[in-house]
Amino acid sequence: MGVTIHFEGKLKSSEHFNSVIEISRDFAESNNMEYEIFEEKNKSLLRIKNEKEWDYEGLARGIKIQPDLNTDPLWIEFDKEFYIQEFCKTQFAGINSHIKIIQLLRLISPYFIELLVEDEGEYWDTKNKKKLQECFDNCFYAIEDAKKENSNLSGPHRIEGNRIVDLMENE
pTM above 0.85, yes or no: yes
Strand partners, 3: none
For 17, 28, 33, 62, the CA distances from 13, given in Å and listed in that order, are 8, 23, 27, 15
- Measured on CA atoms in the order 108, 109, 114, 117, is the torsion positive or negative? positive
pLDDT tens series, the chain, 171 aa: 579 999 999 999 999 999 999 999 999 999 999 999 999 999 888 787 767 788 888 999 999 999 999 999 999 999 999 999 999 999 899 899 999 999 999 999 999 999 999 999 999 999 999 999 999 999 888 888 888 888 888 778 787 877 877 777 876
Q: State how far the Cα of 157 lies from the Cα of 62, in Å rounded to an integer.
A: 26
